[in-house]
Structure 1
Amino acid sequence: MADNIVIYSGGCVARERFSDSFIGLVRELEENRRTLFDCPDEIIIHLLAQFGKEIIKDPSLVSIPGLSYLSLWLRRENLHGIYHVNFEKIPGTKDPISVDSRIEMIHVPRGIVCHWIAGNIPLLGFFSLVLAALGKNASILKIHPSVYKYLNPLLQKLEQVIVNIDGVSYSGSIITSAVSLVSFPGRAESLSRDFSLSADCRVIYGSDDAVQTISSLPHQVHADTIVYGPKYSFAVFDKDAISSPDFPSMLKKLAQDIVLYNQAACSSPHTVFFEKSFIHLHDIAEQLKSALQSLPERMFYPLDEGIAISVINTRARYLLDSSKDILIPDDMKWTICINDIVSLEEPVQGRCVFVKEVLDIDQVLPLVTRKVQTVALGMADHERKEKYVRELAYRGVDRVMAPGTMHEYTQPWDGMLGAGRMVRWIAVRISKECC
């Protein structure tokens, strides 16, 4: 049997159909994206913000992981901030951006954005399509079939959203009619090639192997490629932070970072470094244990079988090694591994974190590469923190965040302004002089 494309949506989010080509879908989205292009920028933000308010009230959506954060992220103020930092203007303003006294520039959508969505974070695809929609692009999201049950109900909900602005009603279908979810086997080389060639912009999320394979596919010469590859994240606390009265609060916030997404996100901390202080490392680990125990039960999602086995194997290694220590509950909720090796441990996931003591936090700096995405930094001295942040950035870190905010989907992300990469900038000469 020949491999087919399963098209879960395309103009009508409730429709599912099969095809052996992207030609018809691309033609449909090209037609539909004209309505999105003609829609005022501010209306798109109004629709997304109203959608964010409505999803949190809908009991049929409550089981979607990360829904409450998506609702907060879609606040109008946050969308305004994303728009402003990516497009260098306030949404709703029509004036071009001046380059100099003779040249202005405007941004326009690239066209159709093809997204390869990794399956580790259920709502990753929705965040990606929102960034594309802010630039008025159509989107085709290649998803794993298991992600459909999260994304399709959200698209159906967005399609039903109505906002009334200045006496005119606008529907969320302006956005959803320019979005399609598709699935097809990665082994189907011809479909993968055709999908890549359908893109005016490619957005790739995935492992190192996936990124290398997808990046090498044929593509349109004009198409830009945005890569969000595999990354590593960790946390650092200096001795002043450890001694401060805020330290227990910092640990509770770090515990939330550890637990969210079962450590499957690139922004999940796997190793935590504590600068040597008057508090023994084991006592700090006990405090982190208390922080993890204080988190609500609903935050602990069941572990996949493969990850559970990795956690069990890691626990066994530490229990059998007299040079190491470990703190574990009676179940699989979390695991704290303690050792004195200054290194970035290989991720185990499943809420398994490695804690270490360093004489000076500068010992951590040689470990930093461009593979590091997020560092949660607990530091009390502002001047020391400023210098440390600059050094982390120089060595390749993309994000330096306070404990508890490692997963906030901010712009820039992975060193890029994602929405801004999905538009073209058009130069317009405004001088009346003859060229």
Structure 2
Amino acid sequence: MEKLPIIVCGEVIECDGKREEIVFEYENGVKVKLPRLTDDDISKVLKSRLKTGLSECSIDEISEVFHTVGLEWQSEECATRERAIELCSKITGYPRNLILHDYLFLSSFFLQRSELYDQLDADLGDYNVLEEWVTNENCLLHAQPQGIVTSILVGNIPVVSVFGVFRSLVVKNNTVCKIPKRDPAGAIMFGLELIKKYPNHPITKSLTIAYWNRDSKEEKEIINGSDVMCLWGGDKAITQLKTRIPAGVKTLEFGPKRSLSIIDLYERYTEDSINDIAYRVAKDFSMYNQEACFSPQEIYIRASDSDFKDFIDNLREAMDFMIQKYPKNEIPIDNAAHVLITRKEELFEGNNIISTDNHGWTMIFSDKKPLNHPLSRTIYIHRVESFDNIASFVDKFSQTVTIYPWKMQEKYRDVLTLNGVDRIVAIGFSGTPRTGFTHDSIKPFSEMVRWVSVEKDIDIRGKYLNIDKKEYLKRIKTMNSKIK
């Protein structure tokens, strides 16, 4: 039995038998238990709203905290990082090197303090709005914390849990995270590292990470006491959650989304070999076994007969390589069965299939969109004569389109985004967001703050007000005043 603590306003609460506990049981026999939140815990969280001192901390200070923890998570000697990797791999089946890749990517982001400032600038316009009242035309503008931001996290991507902790803390909110059953350790282990390095800092005092059951008393109290709810997950989970969120609580939805690739080999750059293109495509389709919203599920490809054959041959090679580099390990029985059943269904429909002998990876050649995509490194390949009908490839649930060659984005970015796409990237970069990106059409930092303003007195006329204070007062006191 694996044991995990929970964190309540920076206090670590262990499984010590003194309170009721929650147990997660997994198909592979792994069991995890952790303490259950009490009424006193929830009361403490709600009473701490904007009272921990975090709103008075500077971005310089906050960035230094994450820099320090990021430095620790770069080390192989970091016990919390290793524990997060170990338990995540046991439960999800993701290979250790994939999870490590995620954590090193995130910790390297924390190490570059300038990157944090750049992210805030890109999202908020100017990070200084978090620190002070900034002139905005005839007003003073300030971005203040919303209060309590509660994130319902998901475990399909290891890095998401940690990033969910970071996002609301960096803009000075009290942060409550519900850990996912799929990856219960990531957020908690990161929180423990924060507490280890900064046990009495406002950041740690503002952090709560725990689990509660759906429709429970704890859930109701936490949701009703929150200022913002960040919902991560699939259609069913988000739809159910939204029915339990009252008016006045802002809701940010991250999911459910799906992604695809668009490739035109007729326009291939001379310096790019088909082998290079295939490997970039294979990386996008292999990461997280397609369980991430940004993982493509389909390819729309335009190519000559010879280039198409060459591409498929190279894609087979690349998918085999990725299965060695990022092994699937154990996956739930239902997932494996879904892949095998989908193969039989598509063969019955008369579609060609190329695949591994087991459920490793699958290519399905079809002129129809999949109705029930099995994920698990399954690629639906649609060969097209042109992209005249490109709008039909996407809808409001389309998150990311990976595109090749890159110059195509200039021609198609408007039609793709007007028809639902949130994000367009180069092939091979679906899982590597660049500074300034939007997340499901949201600028998250901007939504996690309150935009407040002070409007200047009439003494400051600005560009458009053409009367002085005396004239203004005269008009107020005149019955038939006319504004000129």
**TM-score band (shorter)?**
0.7 to 0.9
In the alignment, what sits opposite 2:109?
A: 73
Offset, 1:395: 0.8
Name the stretch that deviates more: 393-402 or 341-350.
Answer: 341-350
Offset, 1:360: 0.6
Pairing partner for 1:134 from 153, 170, 177: 170
Offset, 1:27: 3.9
Question: Do the aligned partners of 1:274 and 1:361 also contact (CA within 8 Å) in 2?
Answer: no
Say whether residues 1:370 and 2:396 are aligned partners: yes
Pairing partner for 2:345 from 310, 313, 317: 317
In the alignment, what sits opposite 2:7?
A: 9
Distance 2:12 2:130 in 1: 35
How many residues align structurally?
414
Distance 2:228 2:399 in 1: 23
Say whether residues 1:299 and 2:326 are aligned partners: yes
Question: Do the aligned partners of 2:232 and 2:254 also contact (CA within 8 Å) in 1?
Answer: yes
Map Cα deviations across residues 366-405 of structure 1 (whole Å, 9 max, x no partner): 232111000001125x3x4312011111111000011121
In the alignment, what sits opposite 1:167?
A: none
Residue correspondence of structure 1 range 7-406 to structure 2 within 5 A? 8-12=6-10, 14-16=12-14, 17-21=35-39, 23-27=42-46, 29-30=48-49, 34-59=52-77, 60=79, 61-62=81-82, 63=85, 65=99, 66-74=102-110, 75-90=112-127, 94=131, 96-100=133-137, 102-161=138-197, 173-188=201-216, 190-219=217-246, 221=248, 223-242=249-268, 244-246=270-272, 247-295=274-322, 297-302=324-329, 303-318=331-346, 323-339=350-366, 341-343=367-369, 346-379=372-405, 382=407, 384-406=408-430
Pairing partner for 1:427 from 424, 437, 453: 453
Question: Do the aligned partners of 1:338 and 1:355 also contact (CA within 8 Å) in 2?
Answer: yes
Ranges in structure 1 where 5+ consecutive residues have no aligned partner: 1-5, 163-170
Distance 1:260 1:172 in 2: 38
Distance 1:79 1:307 in 2: 38
User: Could you state the TM-score of these two structures normalised by the residue count of structure 2?
Assistant: 0.78
| Secondary structure of 1:108's aligned partner | strand
Map Cα deviations across residues 45-67 of structure 1 (whole Å, 9 max, x no partner): 22213322321213442435221
Offset, 1:89: 1.2
Q: Alpha carbons of 1:263 and 1:146: their partners in 2 closer, same or farther (altered >3 Å)?
A: closer
Say whether residues 1:414 and 2:440 are aligned partners: yes
Q: Alpha carbons of 1:379 and 1:198: their partners in 2 closer, same or farther (altered >3 Å)?
A: same
Question: Do the aligned partners of 1:334 and 1:351 also contact (CA within 8 Å) in 2?
Answer: yes
Offset, 1:12: 3.5
Offset, 1:241: 4.3
| Secondary structure of 2:382's aligned partner | strand
Q: Alpha carbons of 1:172 and 1:262: their partners in 2 closer, same or farther (altered >3 Å)?
A: farther
| Secondary structure of 1:427's aligned partner | strand
Q: Alpha carbons of 1:146 and 1:284: their partners in 2 closer, same or farther (altered >3 Å)?
A: closer
Map Cα deviations across residues 224-271 of structure 1 (whole Å, 9 max, x no partner): 111112111000001334474424323212211111111111111110
Map Cα deviations across residues 193-218 of structure 1 (whole Å, 9 max, x no partner): 22210101111112222222211214
Distance 1:90 1:19 in 2: 35
Amino acid at match of 1:420: S
Offset, 1:111: 0.4
Amino acid at match of 1:199: S
RCO (CA 8 Å, sep 6+): is it higher in 1 or 2? 1
Question: Do the aligned partners of 1:268 and 1:407 also contact (CA within 8 Å) in 2?
Answer: yes
Q: Alpha carbons of 1:296 and 1:354: their partners in 2 closer, same or farther (altered >3 Å)?
A: closer
Q: Alpha carbons of 1:379 and 1:298: their partners in 2 closer, same or farther (altered >3 Å)?
A: closer
| Secondary structure of 1:336's aligned partner | strand
Percent of matched pairs sharing the same residue: 20
Ranges in structure 2 where 5+ consecutive residues have no aligned partner: 15-34, 89-98, 460-468, 474-484
Question: Do the aligned partners of 1:236 and 1:377 also contact (CA within 8 Å) in 2?
Answer: yes
